[in-house]
Amino acid sequence: MHAIGLAVYPNFQALGLAVASVFEYANLYRGEQAYHFRLVSEEGGPVMTSQGFSVNTDRLRDSTYDTLIVAGDNDGQLPAASLLDYLRHASTESRRIAAICTGAFVLAAAGLLDGKRATTHWRHAQDFRKQYPNVLLDEDRIFVVDGSVWTSAGMTAGIDLALAIVEQDLGLETARAVARKLVVYHRRGGGQSQFSALLELDAKSDRVQMALAHAKAHLGSKLSVESLADVARLSPRQFSRLFREETGQSPAKAVERLRVEAARLMMETTRHPIEVIARETGFGDRERMRQAFLRAFGQSPQAMQRSAGREESVL
Angle at 265 between CA 263 and CA 269, to 5 degrees: 120
What SS3 state is found at 68?
strand
Q: Are strands 96-99 and 67-70 parallel, antiparallel or unpaired?
A: parallel
What does the alpha-carbon distance between residue 8 and residue 42 come to, in Å, rounded to a whole number?
Answer: 8
22-34 confidence digits (pLDDT tens): 999 999 999 999 9
pLDDT of residue 312: 36
Return the bridge partners of 296, or none.
none
Looking at the predicted structure, is the pLDDT value of residue 21 above 80? yes
pLDDT of residue 156: 84
To the nearest 10°, report the CA torsion of 102, 105, 110, 113.
Answer: 100
**pLDDT tier for residue 261 given thresholds of 50, 70 and 90:** confident
Q: Are strands 117-118 and 136-137 parallel, antiparallel or unpaired?
A: parallel
pLDDT mean over 291-311: 75
pLDDT of residue 297: 75
**pLDDT tier for residue 100 given thresholds of 50, 70 and 90:** very high
pLDDT of residue 62: 87
pLDDT mean over 249-254: 93
Nearest-Å Rg of the Cα atoms of the chain is 22
pLDDT of residue 287: 94
C-alpha pair distances (Å), 108 with each of 135, 216, 227: 8, 38, 50
Mean pLDDT score across all residues of the chain: 88
pLDDT of residue 117: 93
pLDDT of residue 122: 83
pLDDT of residue 192: 53
pLDDT of residue 75: 87
Looking at the predicted structure, is the pLDDT value of residue 96 above 90? yes
- Model confidence, pTM: 0.66
Looking at the predicted structure, is the pLDDT value of residue 223 above 60? yes
186-215 confidence digits (pLDDT tens): 555 555 555 566 666 778 889 998 999 899
Best CA proximity match to 7, nearest among 92, 94, 75: 94
Q: What percent of the chain has pLDDT over 70?
A: 92
Higher per-residue pLDDT: 298 or 250: 250
What SS3 state is found at 281?
coil
pLDDT of residue 310: 46
Q: Are strands 54-59 and 45-48 parallel, antiparallel or unpaired?
A: antiparallel
C-alpha pair distances (Å), 81 with each of 16, 52, 85, 172: 22, 23, 6, 38
Domains, the chain: 2-181 (3.40.50.880), 197-308 (1.10.10.60)
26-68 confidence digits (pLDDT tens): 999 999 999 999 999 999 999 999 999 999 999 998 889 999 9
Q: What percent of the chain has pLDDT over 90?
A: 65
Question: Helices (DSSP H) in the chain: which residue ranges?
Answer: 19-30, 81-90, 103-109, 125-131, 157-170, 172-181, 197-201, 206-217, 225-232, 236-247, 251-269, 274-280, 286-297, 301-307
pLDDT of residue 311: 40
pLDDT mean over 123-145: 89
* Residue partners of 224: CB distance under 8 A and separation at least 6: none
